[in-house]
A and B are shown apart, each in its own frame.
Chain A
Amino acid sequence: EPEVTQTPSHQVTQMGQEVILRCVPISNHLYFYWYRQILGQKVEFLVSFYNNEISEKSEIFDDQFSVERPDGSNFTLKIRSTKLEDSAMYFCASKGGSVEKLFFGSGTQLSVL
Chain B
Amino acid sequence: GESVGLHLPTLSVQEGDNSIINCAYSNSASDYFIWYKQESGKGPQFIIDIRSNMDKRQGQRVTVLLNKTVKHLSLQIAATQPGDSAVYFCAELLTGNQFYFGTGTSLTVIP
Contacts and interface: CB of A to CB of B under 8 A. Distances in A.
B97 A91 contact: no
Contacts of B99: 33, 45, 102
Interface residues of A, number: 27
A55 B44 contact: no
B111 interface: no
Contact of A107 (B42, B49, B97, B103): B42
Interface residues of B, number: 28
B5 A41 contact: yes
Contacts of A102: 34, 46, 91, 99
Given A42-B101, A45-B100, A50-B97, A106 B6 contact: no
B59 to A, nearest CB: 12
Given A43-B89, A99-B51, A56 B46 contact: no
A103 B36 CA distance: 10
Contacts of A38: 5
Contacts, number: 61
B98 A91 contact: no
A75 interface: no
Interface in B1-21: 4-6, 8
Given A42-B6, A42-B104, A104 B97 contact: no
Q: Which of B6, B93, B97, B98 has the most CB of A within 10 A?
A: B97
Given A41-B5, A42-B103, A56-B97, 17 more contacts: A4-B43, A31-B97, A33-B99, A41-B6, A42-B6, A43-B44, A43-B89, A43-B101, A44-B101, A45-B99, A48-B96, A102-B46, A102-B99, A104-B44, A104-B46, A106-B42, A107-B43
Interface of B: 4-6, 8, 31-32, 34, 36, 41-46, 49, 51, 89, 91, 93, 96-104
Interface of A: 4, 31, 33, 35, 38-45, 48, 50, 55-56, 91, 98-99, 101-107, 109
24 contacts: A35-B101, A38-B5, A39-B5, A40-B4, A40-B5, A41-B5, A41-B6, A42-B89, A42-B104, A43-B89, A45-B99, A45-B100, A45-B101, A48-B98, A91-B43, A99-B32, A99-B51, A99-B93, A101-B46, A101-B49, A102-B34, A105-B43, A107-B43, A109-B41
